[in-house]
């Protein structure tokens, strides 16, 4: 199910979305055929999957009805009515994402219409008040604190919950990980080259992405945001595991217990841009230059391997403790 393609004569359009990333609740990574079954949350629709370089599967889209206030940067009141689209993705049988989005379009009429009108336009929220696209995009990104107006995060969480409650999962936790949020807003205007502004440091769990692109690039822009969310989650999770391992060694405990599942299960999943359309790859190239995603990843992975190697030396020498790092 694709969102209605915005037409040029309507002027620039805003699509907003939120992605939540977490671990699949299972001790081991899931085999591909299990992932296929797990993601059949919408009966009758196919699960899209690709196997290389790492397996990646996307559930069918589903609809959620919305009738809510919309945040605007200028704090001008705005209201929308329509539907959001959401789906789940699973990467490497290990990482689960819930991804929800809505295209904000001006409504033809001031009055709220019958639901069948909105159901015929999946993924479109009609704005019944006057609103500037930039104002709405920035408002959505800024309003990530308490009481979000359009709560796409809650829709993403529901998708995650449904997938996690699949009966055949063992619901084990092989490693500790934070659930991260990526809020994104795309302003789509006639044929322009994609560009993005990414904020990573605002909050420990929240990242924001503002994209400018042409209307035809919408699915690619969303895919880019999901790929960014996945790799940002990997960096966050590995950093967390390393700080936990540092604490464990400082307190005289074995850090390998914490690091082994990370090296084993997460390190092979680092493939930035692998599932992203070439049109969007310049955005990844920018991130590789600054802040240097892959560079940071390599440093973290090397540190994990060093810690494991030190521990092996320590065990060879009869288990004497080495200075805490």
Binding footprint of other proteins on the chain (CB under 8 A) = 22-23, 25, 27, 146-147, 153-154, 157, 161, 164-165, 167, 170-173, 176-179, 244, 247-248, 250-251, 253
Residue 248 makes CB contacts below 8 A (sequence gap 6+) with: 254, 255, 257, 258
CB-nearer residue toward other proteins: 176 or 202? 176
CB-nearer residue toward other proteins: 177 or 213? 177
Would you tell me the crossing angle of helices 218-250 and 256-265 to the nearest 10 degrees?
160
DSSP 258-282: HHHHHHHHTGGG--TTTTS-GGGHH
Q: Residue 121 CB, nearest distance to other proteins (Å)?
A: 26
Q: Give me 80's structure tokens.
A: 């929308």
Q: Residue 95 CB, nearest distance to other proteins (Å)?
A: 12
Answer left, alpha or beta for residue 135, where phi above 0 means left and psi between -120 and 50 means alpha: alpha
Whole-angstrom distance, CA of residue 307 vs CA of residue 265 = 17
CB-nearer residue toward other proteins: 52 or 167? 167
Q: Residue 47 CB, nearest distance to other proteins (Å)?
A: 22
Q: Residue 180 CB, nearest distance to other proteins (Å)?
A: 11
Q: Residue 192 CB, nearest distance to other proteins (Å)?
A: 35
Residue 16 and residue 52 in contact, taking contact as beta carbons nearer than 8 Å: no
Whole-angstrom distance, CA of residue 241 vs CA of residue 230 = 16
Q: Residue 186 CB, nearest distance to other proteins (Å)?
A: 24
CB-nearer residue toward other proteins: 74 or 165? 165
Whole-angstrom distance, CA of residue 237 vs CA of residue 301 = 12
For residue 213, CA distances in Å to 4, 17, 92 come to 16, 15, 29
Q: Residue 252 CB, nearest distance to other proteins (Å)?
A: 10
CB-nearer residue toward other proteins: 27 or 48? 27
CB-nearer residue toward other proteins: 110 or 147? 147
Answer left, alpha or beta for residue 160, where phi above 0 means left and psi between -120 and 50 means alpha: alpha
Residues, the chain, total? 325
CB-nearer residue toward other proteins: 167 or 316? 167
Q: Give me 281's structure tokens.
A: 């790859």
């Amino acid at each position: 199910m694709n969102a209605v393609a915005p037409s040029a004569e309507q002027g620039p359009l805003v699509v907003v979305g939120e992605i939540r990333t977490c671990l699949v609740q299972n001790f081991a990574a899931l085999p591909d055929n299990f992932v296929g079954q797990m993601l059949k949350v919408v009966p009758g629709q196919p699960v899209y999957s690709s196997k290389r370089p790492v397996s990646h599967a996307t559930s069918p889209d589903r609809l959620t009805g919305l009738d809510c206030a919309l945040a605007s940067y200028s704090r001008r009141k705005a209201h929308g009515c329509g539907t959001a689209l959401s789906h789940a993705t699973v990467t490497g049988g290990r990482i689960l994402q819930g991804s929800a989005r809505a295209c904000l379009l001006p409504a033809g009429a001031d009055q709220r219409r019958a639901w069948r009108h909105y159901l015929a336009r999946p993924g479109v929220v009609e704005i019944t008040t006057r609103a500037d696209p930039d104002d709405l995009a920035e408002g959505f990104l800024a309003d990530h604190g308490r009481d979000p107006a359009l709560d796409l995060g809650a829709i993403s969480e529901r998708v995650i919950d449904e997938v996690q409650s699949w009966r055949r999962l063992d619901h084990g936790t092989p490693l500790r990980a934070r659930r991260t949020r990526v809020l994104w807003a795309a302003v789509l205007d006639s044929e322009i080259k994609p560009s993005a502004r990414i904020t990573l440091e605002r909050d420990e769990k929240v990242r924001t992405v503002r994209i400018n692109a042409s209307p035809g690039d919408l699915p690619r822009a969303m895919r880019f945001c999901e790929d960014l969310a996945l790799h940002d989650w990997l960096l966050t999770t590995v950093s967390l595991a390393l700080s936990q391992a540092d604490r464990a060694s400082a307190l005289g405990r074995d850090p390998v217990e914490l690091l082994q599942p990370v090296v084993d299960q997460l390190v092979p999943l680092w493939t930035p841009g692998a599932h992203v359309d070439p049109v969007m790859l310049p955005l990844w190239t920018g991130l590789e230059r600054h802040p240097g995603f892959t560079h940071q990843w390599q440093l973290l992975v090397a540190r994990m391997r060093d810690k494991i190697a030190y521990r092996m030396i320590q065990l060879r020498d009869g288990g004497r403790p080495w200075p805490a790092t």
